[in-house]
Amino acid sequence: MERNKEFRHYLVGFVLATVLTVIPFTLVATVGGKVALFALILCAILQLIVHLRYFLHLSFKGQQREDLQLVLFTGLILFLMIGGSVWILGDLYNRM
């Protein structure tokens, strides 16, 4: 029973991830432009969550290890470092 449930969990994750991969590839190959860019960013974030949720089994409830907090904290660090670098250097670039 438990095994079937977990197997389905992986399968759902795989199907969702596949859909979220096919959408941006198709849009970039056909439509392009701003629409594709927004869809691309949205799908990437959603697929990130799908992977963490269905393959790495992170969730908000029933968590015994601090994996989720660890990931969220690292996300914050990454946001600060990447966002900061891009912001400052982008600003410099625009002034040149």
Find the DSSP H helices in the chain: 2-30, 33-50, 67-95
**Angle (deg, nearest 10), helices 2-30 and 33-50:** 160
Q: Which three-class secondary structure state does DSSP give residue 42? A: helix
> How many residues bind other proteins, per CB under 8 A?
52
Of positions 30, 77, 91, 95, contacts other proteins by CB under 8 A: 77
- The 11-50 site mask, x for binding other proteins (CB under 8 A), equals x-xx--xx--x--xx--xx--xx--xx--xx-xx--xx--
Q: How many CB atoms lie within 10 A of CB 52?
A: 16
Q: Is 58 left (phi over 0), alpha (psi -120 to 50) or beta?
A: beta
Interface contacts to other proteins, rule CB under 8 A: 2-3, 5-7, 9-11, 13-14, 17-18, 21, 24-25, 28-29, 32-33, 36-37, 40-41, 43-44, 47-48, 51-52, 55-57, 59, 62-67, 70-71, 73-74, 77-78, 81-82, 85-86, 89-90, 93
